[in-house]
Amino acid sequence: MKSSGSTAWKAPVKFRMPTAENLVPIRLDIQFEGQRYKDAFTWNPSDPDNEIVVFAKRTVKDLKLPPAFVTQIAQSIQSQLSDFRAYEGQDMYTGEKIIPIKLDLRINHTLIKDQFLWDLNNFESDPEEFARTLCKDLGVVDPEVGPAVAFAIREQLYEIAIQSVASARESRLSKKSRRGSDYGSASKASGLPMDLVKLFSFKSSVVRKRKDLDVYEPVVDLLTNEDVDALEAREERRTR
C-alpha cells in the first residue's frame, strides 16, 4: 500500500470510505416470523439498486428463510446505503489524522483481540489485505476470521469518516466567523501531534507504537465448544 502525498493532508476531500475501495459496511440482524438472520458484508454504493432485491431473494432461497425476509433484507440494506449516500458530496477532513482501531471479535471458535493505529489519510489502504496478513501472521486458519476483521476495521473507519464530515463543517463555520485567525494543524487539535512521515512508512497505513507492543500485542484464543455455548447463551440473554 502506498501513502498519499503530503499535499493532500490539509485539504478536505469529498466524503467516501478512506480506503482503496469505496465499500459500505452493511450489518443485518433481522428477526421475523420466529426466525433470525444475522450477517455482515460490504456493498459498493455505485452498484444499481435493483441488485439489492436480487441479493435478498438469493439469500432467502439459499438459507431457506420465509419469503417475507426478502423485503426485510432489501429494506435494511437500502436504508444503510441511503445513510451513506446522504454524506456523499460533502467535505470530509482527514488531514494528519491517525486513529486507533480496536478488535475484540469472536468468530466461531476463534477469539481475536488487537489494537493498532491507522492513517485515515491513506486512501489506498486495504483492510482486506491487512486482515489476510494479520491472520497469516497469527496462524489463524478459520477462513471466516479474515473477512470479519476487515469488516470491523471498515465499520470503525466509516464512523470516523462521518465524524470527519462534521469536523469539516465546523471548520468552515469557524473560518467564516474568525477570518484571519491563525489555526493550528489538525494533529494539534486532535491531541495527536505526530510526524506522519516518521511514523508511517510509505507502504502501509498501519503502525503499532513501540511502547505499546506489550500492551497491545495481538491475542488469539481458540475456544472450546463449551466456551462458545456459554458465550452464545450470554449474548442471547443480553439481546432479550
The total number of structural domains that make up the chain: 1
d(CA 20, CA 1): 9
Report the share of the chain in percent with pLDDT over 70: 76
List the Cα angle 85/87/91 in 5-degree steps. Answer: 140
Predicted model pTM: 0.79
Roughly what angle, to the nearest 10 degrees, separates helices 127-138 and 145-177? 140
Q: Which domain holds residue 92?
A: 13-171+192-239
Q: Position of cell 472450546?
A: 224
Give the bridge partners for 26, in sequence order. 41
List the Cα angle 46/48/53 in 5-degree steps. Answer: 130
Residue 25 lies in a domain: yes
Residue 1 lies in a domain: no
Residue 199 in grid coordinates: 511514523
Residue 177 lies in a domain: no
Give the bridge partners for 101, in sequence order. 116
Task: Evaluate whether 90 touches 14 at the Cβ level (below 8 Å).
Answer: yes
Residue 6 lies in a domain: no
Q: What pLDDT digit, counting tens, does each position of 79-121 carry?
A: 999 999 999 999 998 767 889 999 999 999 999 999 999 998 8
Confidence of residue 32 (pLDDT cuts 50, 70, 90): confident
CB within 8 Å of 69: residues ≥ 6 apart: 30, 32, 35, 37, 56, 59, 60
Residue 180 lies in a domain: no
The predicted structure's pLDDT at residue 24 = 98
Residue 151 burial (10 A CB sphere; 0-12, 13-18, 19+) = buried
> What is the Rg, in whole angstroms, of the alpha carbon atoms belonging to the chain?
20
Q: Is the pLDDT of residue 64 over 50?
A: yes
